[in-house]
Amino acid sequence: MNLPEKVSICEVGLRDGLQNEKVIPSTDDKLALLRGFIDAGYKVIEVGSFMHPKKVPQMADTDEIFKKIGEVPEGVELRALIPNTRGVQRAIDCGCKKVKLNVSASRMHNLKNLNRTPEESVAGFADCVKMANENNIAISGSISMPFASPWEGRTPVEDVDAIIEAYLKVGINEISLSDASGQAVPNQVYDLCKHVRDKYTEASWWLHFHNTRGAAMANILAAMQAGMTRFDASFGGLGGCPFVPGAAGNISSEDVINMLDEMGIETGVDVLKVMALSRKVSELIGHGLDSYVLRAGRSKDLIASQSE
């Protein structure tokens, strides 16, 4: 099987996971988790977002977390989601060095909510790019629902191309394809990944899968076979909708890392440390988590426990 030797995992639980929770850990608890992720070996961590605190109160302390974490080890990248130039300003003010913009690939959704096409939204990000560049802040972009959306079904490839081209035009070439609605399936993931890699060689890619319908792991495999090597994941599978008990959210970091470990693909992240952090956050938010490995343990540990 054609697979990479090394894969990067971005831990997004502090943002994508916690933003869906009702009980939110304190800023100090979030900081302890963040330090734990750095200690576990993560090189990329999504810390929070600079959305309006009224809109996403769970992320209101993102600025404070960046201020308090201070210097991080060389090569560790902490990023935050931003909606606009106000987000870039907050990043400048709190010492955040990497920001990410997002646009929905659903034309209908964009037109209905923002009264503009996805490409027009991305063209509007030019000010953010200029401001970020002037202040030494790296900037990336995400496309949510490039595979399918709840409103329009399968997303046409030409629509995804148009958004990618709009991102490249404003000077953003690190692009994340985010299956936020958990509708992607492996053959489609393979085809789209292969298509964008071949067509836009100047771009670099992240993949972000939700396990809403149980296909996230298969989608990661399909993306790896198409040459992708960077994936988001959330500790404990945090990110499920809190109003739908048992609804799966992000693909769980420990499930991904355990699988890659067993496949001999290097991630640089210590899965046992991630599992310990998942147990800790489960206590903090007061409910169980959606992670197979957390329930079943690593397959590696089965033999050891039998001989005890």
- CB nearer Zn ion, residue 131 or residue 248: 248
CB of 307 to Zn ion, least distance (A): 40
Tell me the C-alpha distance between 133 and 5, whole Å.
32
CB of 165 to Zn ion, least distance (A): 24
CB of 183 to Zn ion, least distance (A): 13
- CB nearer Zn ion, residue 107 or residue 210: 210
Q: What is the per-residue binding string for Zn ion in 165-194, x denoting contact by CB under 5 A?
A: ---------------x--------------
Query: Residue 21, interface with Zn ion (CB under 5 A)?
Result: no
| Chain-centroid distance, C-alpha 48 | 11
Tell me the C-alpha distance between 39 and 16, whole Å.
20
Query: Residue 46, interface with Zn ion (CB under 5 A)?
Result: no
Q: Which stretch binds Zn ion (CB under 5 A): 13-21, 28-36, 182-190, 257-265?
A: 13-21
In contact, 85 and 125? CB cutoff 8 Å: no
In contact, 207 and 225? CB cutoff 8 Å: no
- CB nearer Zn ion, residue 207 or residue 224: 207
Q: Which stretch binds Zn ion (CB under 5 A): 8-16, 67-75, 262-270, 271-279?
A: 8-16
Query: Residue 255, interface with Zn ion (CB under 5 A)?
Result: no
CB of 155 to Zn ion, least distance (A): 16
For the chain, strand residue ranges (E) read 8-11, 44-49, 77-81, 98-104, 138-144, 148-149, 153-154, 174-179, 204-209, 230-233
Which amino acid is present at 187? N
Residue of minimal Cβ distance to Zn ion? 16
Say which DSSP state 210 is in: B
- Kindly state the tokens that stand for 51: 């959305």
Instruction: Kindly list the distances between the CA atom of residue 188 and the CA atoms of 22, 173, 194, 205, 252, in Å, as whole numbers in the listed order.
Output: 34, 22, 10, 16, 21
Catalytic site positions: 241
Which of 11, 16, 21, 119 lies at the binding interface for Zn ion (CB under 5 A)?
Answer: 16
CB of 126 to Zn ion, least distance (A): 25
CB of 127 to Zn ion, least distance (A): 25
- CB nearer Zn ion, residue 102 or residue 110: 102
- CB nearer Zn ion, residue 17 or residue 25: 17
Tell me the C-alpha distance between 25 and 14, whole Å.
10
Phi and psi, residue 6, nearest 5°: -135, 145
SS3 306: helix
In contact, 72 and 97? CB cutoff 8 Å: no
Binding residue count for Zn ion, defined by CB under 5 A: 2
- CB nearer Zn ion, residue 131 or residue 148: 148
**Which residues of the chain form contacts with Zn ion (CB under 5 A)?**
16, 180
